[in-house]
Amino acid sequence: MSVTAAKGFQAAGIAAGIKENGNPDLALVVNTGPRRAAAGVFTSNRVKAAPVLWSEQVLKSGELTAVVLNSGGANACTGPKGFQDTHATAEKVAEVLEIGAGEVAVASTGLIGVLLPMDKLLPGVEAAAASLNEHGGEKAAIAIKTTDTVHKTSVVTKDGWTVGGMAKGAGMLAPGLATMLVVLTTDADLPSDVLDKALRAATRTTFDRVDSDGCMSTNDTVLLLASGASEVAPDHEEFAEAVRQVCDDLGQQLIRDAEGASKDIKVEVVGAASEDDAVEVGRSIARNNLLKCAIHGEDPNWGRVLSAIGTTKAAFEPDRLNVAINGVWVCKNGGVGEDRDKVDMRYREVHIVADLAAGSETATIWTNDLTADYVHENSAYSS
Amino acid sequence: MSVTAAKGFQAAGIAAGIKENGNPDLALVVNTGPRRAAAGVFTSNRVKAAPVLWSEQVLKSGELTAVVLNSGGANACTGPKGFQDTHATAEKVAEVLEIGAGEVAVASTGLIGVLLPMDKLLPGVEAAAASLNEHGGEKAAIAIKTTDTVHKTSVVTKDGWTVGGMAKGAGMLAPGLATMLVVLTTDADLPSDVLDKALRAATRTTFDRVDSDGCMSTNDTVLLLASGASEVAPDHEEFAEAVRQVCDDLGQQLIRDAEGASKDIKVEVVGAASEDDAVEVGRSIARNNLLKCAIHGEDPNWGRVLSAIGTTKAAFEPDRLNVAINGVWVCKNGGVGEDRDKVDMRYREVHIVADLAAGSETATIWTNDLTADYVHENSAYSS
């Protein structure tokens, strides 16, 4: 299903030989119209990969006809040659699809600082175009995997229209705007400004609140393409909610597949004076290596939650803080609460509630535990 | 040597039974004068342990006669009872030394959120006082260890006067102000305002630039006590430099003993527009889990350095950044530089230079690699 669940889209995923192991590494998504509206959000990392710089530029028109994505190389920190390669990739897609290069977004993922093997990528574009079809969404989702162990897709079908999408991401996962490659498609008949508003609202509370390892990527890209093929123009709020649901589902899939993780941790901050405070505190907790290790050891070490809260600028009084882990209020009023031995941590999902007792705003950040497997996977990635 | 290297100090370290394994866990340092000048810096974590709140208060006088330190429990997040326990500890020290409780600083380290066993601690104070002597510095340094594998001491002797000290710290090591327990002593004859200025200047560029795991403690305390027993009043700048040397040496010892670490990483930021920029970039690099894993795997993955720089607000242009790892400029002008295979990473110390090409300011942050041993040690700490 994936990006071809909505009408008006074709996709393909092939092995172009960019990855040395011969796995699929090139995906193509094409909007066959009648509409070509599009919106996108990109990493806020100031070191942006060439494809991000390119795609930000072409999206200014509010229209896209195709997205070409490769795994096996991020094309980040590759200088002018890297940008030329991105440009050449878009030109190649334009040539085979008989469109303009300015209608083609490019996304890349993989190791930073290595030039892409264009002698393999450009013929790969031709091969991908030749295999484009209306059921190619699954193959496209598979072709963008890097260290992902599973491919990620999601679809929400409403009354006559659909939002679908695919995502990749397993490491270097932290809010940038988004922190991964995502392509969403819809056959709803809506203009780009409506797409843009829905996409920004959705990513703000979904992908932006996934923080697996605190490391912001240079390549994060989330695109939303609308074909209008359903001939339905849904209510904007209903549409925004459907986009949010797909983003939320894909974000959850990213967390569940995070590198080396054995626990998915839901950090829910409540009682905050503002949503910004809640997000800041949630991120601080989610990025605390000591806490992430403790959760890995099934240790409800709430002191590490408090020490993480204490590093923030959020409004709170230390002696009013409360913390629950899996439903047990182990910290009350900044001190010892219920018996920590009551906390059952045997299951994969761990739920931490941090109550700042300073207001009524909330935010939820998702993260993972820190494991020896994460260390192993990331100490051997490029070598 | 340690805190008794300088004249006018006695110390002791004993096993009071606070630690269940019977290891030494209580240290006492006493200034026998004639002067009792003192200064201190404390964690900037807003969740402060009871002993930090107490010691900040008593130090307002600029004088201290004794410091009592315990391992085996942080007395943090322990509410009003925790503060009463700190107060009772100071009162007990005051009673046995026949001084006022307001002359006694208290420092604690260990697990957060657990009350101290006062039935063992208070008799321990009597035992420690009974064993005070002018060669007790080593035993005091041993008694403040938690997960430290070695005790840390340092001494600088100048013309007729001495600065010595002890430190503990192996995890939850990140700049707060300091990030550990440290007691420095000197027999220099100087007033508290001179001590304070020298100590703040020293910690700012030493302990504050040690960032092992990004986790700021609730208990960080650095104290400097001056006895005046040398009857020498050294030049203030010379004194400040001696304090800086002792702090720098102890900070290096902390990094070398960081939990689970196999590499000590010197992150040197050069070419910054301001010192603040250099520190921000250095910290961002030092806290990047992916880079820390790569260094563990002896992988000169400079792309992770650039992605960390990109998350900061520092002044720089992405296409002017340069990165050297162990002397090899693997990244030049934001792209591929010298051959990464030239980088020799077999040794424990790794030197990363990040050149922002935006000015002439510099800063050095010390950190460690991220290892499976760190995960193991911190997933089993309190359970």
Residue A175 pLDDT level (bands cut at 50, 70, 90): very low
Q: Please tell me which of A3-12, A196-205, B39-48 the model is most confident about, judged by mean pLDDT.
A: A3-12
Of residues A113, A303, A319, nearest to B331 (C-beta): A113
Residue B383 has pLDDT above 60, yes or no: no
Q: How far is B165 from chain A (nearest CA, A)?
A: 26
d(CA A105, CA B37): 67
Report the half-sphere exposure of B1 (CA within 13 A, side-chain side): 14
Residue B167 pLDDT level (bands cut at 50, 70, 90): confident
Q: Across the interface, do B321 and A47 touch by the CB < 8 Å criterion?
A: yes
Domain co-membership, A327 together with A359: yes
State the average pLDDT for chain A: 88
The 10s digit of each residue's pLDDT in A88-99 is 999 999 999 999
Domain boundary (B232, B256, B280) is at B256
A378, amino acid identity: N
Residue A177 pLDDT level (bands cut at 50, 70, 90): very low
Residue with tokens 């702090």: B247
- Residues pairing with B368 in the sheet: B264
CATH code of B89's domain: 3.60.70.12
DSSP string over A108-140: EBS-TT----HHHHHHHHHHHHHT-BTTTHHHH
Residue A48 has pLDDT above 50, yes or no: yes
Residue B110 pLDDT level (bands cut at 50, 70, 90): confident
Q: Which residues of A touch B374 (CB under 8 A)?
A: 289, 293, 375
Domain co-membership, B274 together with B231: no
pLDDT score, position A213: 67
Q: Which residues of A touch B214 (CB under 8 A)?
A: 287-289
Residue A37 near residue A229 (C-beta atoms within 8 A):
no
**Comparison of pLDDT for B193 and A125, the residue scoring more:** A125
Domain co-membership, B218 together with B298: no
Percent of chain B with pLDDT over 90: 48
Of residues A215, A303, A316, nearest to B111 (C-beta): A303
- Residues pairing with B70 in the sheet: B26, B108
DSSP-derived pairing of the beta strands B264-272 and B361-368: antiparallel
Q: How far is A170 from chain B (nearest CA, A)?
A: 12
d(CA A161, CA A159): 6
Residue with tokens 């040794």: B347
Domain co-membership, A277 together with A333: yes
pLDDT score, position A172: 54
Q: Which residues of B touch A376 (CB under 8 A)?
A: 372
Span A193-208, average pLDDT: 83
**Comparison of pLDDT for A309 and A168, the residue scoring more:** A309
d(CA B340, CA B338): 6
Mutate to test the interface with A, among B311, B330, B333 (most CBs of A within 10 A): B311
Of residues A46, A79, A287, nearest to B335 (C-beta): A79
The answer to whether the annotation marks A382 as part of a ligand binding site is no
What is the extent of the structural domain holding A137?
Answer: 2-256
Cα A145 to the center of its chain, rounded Å: 12
Walk across the sheet containing B66-70 and list its strands.
B9-14, B26-31, B66-70, B104-108
The 10s digit of each residue's pLDDT in B191-242 is 889 988 888 888 877 777 676 666 667 777 778 888 989 999 999 999 999 9
Residue A253 has pLDDT above 50, yes or no: yes
Q: Across the interface, do A383 and B336 touch by the CB < 8 Å criterion?
A: no
Query: Which of A311, A306, A307 minimizes the C-alpha distance to A322?
Result: A306
Give counts: helices (H), strands (E), chain A: 10, 15
d(CA B336, CA A113): 6
Domain boundary (A256, A274, A289) is at A256
Residue tagged active-site, from A65, A78, A162, A179: A179
d(CA B20, CA A143): 55
Span A344-361, average pLDDT: 95
Residue A215 pLDDT level (bands cut at 50, 70, 90): low
State the average pLDDT for chain B: 88
Report the half-sphere exposure of A269 (CA within 13 A, side-chain side): 33
Residue B303 has pLDDT above 50, yes or no: yes
Say which range, A140-144, A257-261, B361-365, has the weakest mean pLDDT.
A257-261
Span A289-301, average pLDDT: 88
Mutate to test the interface with A, among B45, B53, B77 (most CBs of A within 10 A): B77
d(CA B245, CA B201): 11
pLDDT score, position A289: 85
Q: How far is B78 from chain A (nearest CA, A)?
A: 5
Residue with tokens 């997000």: A279
The answer to whether the annotation marks A86 as part of a ligand binding site is no
pLDDT score, position A252: 81
Of residues A46, A213, A299, nearest to B382 (C-beta): A299
Domain co-membership, A308 together with A179: no
Q: How far is A32 from chain B (nearest CA, A)?
A: 36
Mutate to test the interface with B, among A307, A313, A328, A345 (most CBs of B within 10 A): A307
d(CA B46, CA B56): 13
Closest-CA residue of B relative to A294 is: B379
Residue B340 has pLDDT above 80, yes or no: yes
d(CA A34, CA A227): 6
Domain co-membership, A339 together with A370: yes
Q: How far is A120 from chain B (nearest CA, A)?
A: 21
Q: Across the interface, do B218 and A310 touch by the CB < 8 Å criterion?
A: yes
Q: Across the interface, do A289 and B372 touch by the CB < 8 Å criterion?
A: no
- Residues pairing with A31 in the sheet: A9
Q: Which two tokens stand for residue B206?
A: 């030493």
pLDDT score, position B177: 33
Whether the link from the prior residue into B34 is cis, omega within 30° of 0, is yes
Angle at Cα A357 formed by Cα A353 and Cα A359, nearest 5°? Answer: 105
**Comparison of pLDDT for B123 and B244, the residue scoring more:** B123
Domain boundary (B200, B230, B256) is at B256
Domain co-membership, A271 together with A207: no
Start-to-end Cα distance in chain B: 35
Residue with tokens 């009162």: B91
Residue A212 pLDDT level (bands cut at 50, 70, 90): low
Distances (CA, A) of A163 to A5, A33, A104, A247: 7, 15, 20, 10
Q: Which residues of B touch A357 (CB under 8 A)?
A: none
Residue B370 has pLDDT above 80, yes or no: yes
Which parts of chain A fold into alpha helices (H)? 50-58, 79-97, 118-130, 137-143, 192-205, 236-256, 275-286, 289-296, 302-309, 372-379
What is the number of structural domains in chain B? 2
Residue B179 annotated among the catalytic residues of the structure: yes
Domain co-membership, B318 together with B244: no
**In this prediction, does ipTM exceed 0.85?**
no
pLDDT score, position B335: 84
Count of A–B CB contacts within 8 Å?
A: 224
Q: Which residues of A touch B310 (CB under 8 A)?
A: 45-48, 216, 218
Residue B318 has pLDDT above 90, yes or no: no
CATH code of A305's domain: 3.10.20.340
Domain co-membership, B309 together with B331: yes
Domain co-membership, B209 together with B272: no
Torsions phi, psi for B375 (to 5 deg): -60, -45
d(CA B130, CA B139): 14
Residue tagged active-site, from B4, B89, B162, B179: B179
Domain co-membership, B142 together with B48: yes
Residue B57: how many CB atoms within 10 A of its CB? 11
The answer to whether the annotation marks A179 as part of a ligand binding site is yes
Domain co-membership, A168 together with A205: yes
Residue B39 near residue B29 (C-beta atoms within 8 A):
no
A13, amino acid identity: G
Q: Which residues of A touch B212 (CB under 8 A)?
A: none
Distances (CA, A) of A110 to A80, A113, A118, A190, B298: 19, 10, 15, 33, 19
Contacts of A331 (CB under 8 A, 6+ apart): A302, A305, A306, A321, A322, A323, A337, B77, B113
Span B326-337, average pLDDT: 91
Mutate to test the interface with A, among B56, B215, B287, B292 (most CBs of A within 10 A): B215
Say which range, A131-135, B43-47, B221-225, B249-253, has the weakest mean pLDDT.
B43-47
Cα A92 to the center of its chain, rounded Å: 27
DSSP-derived pairing of the beta strands A264-272 and A221-226: unpaired
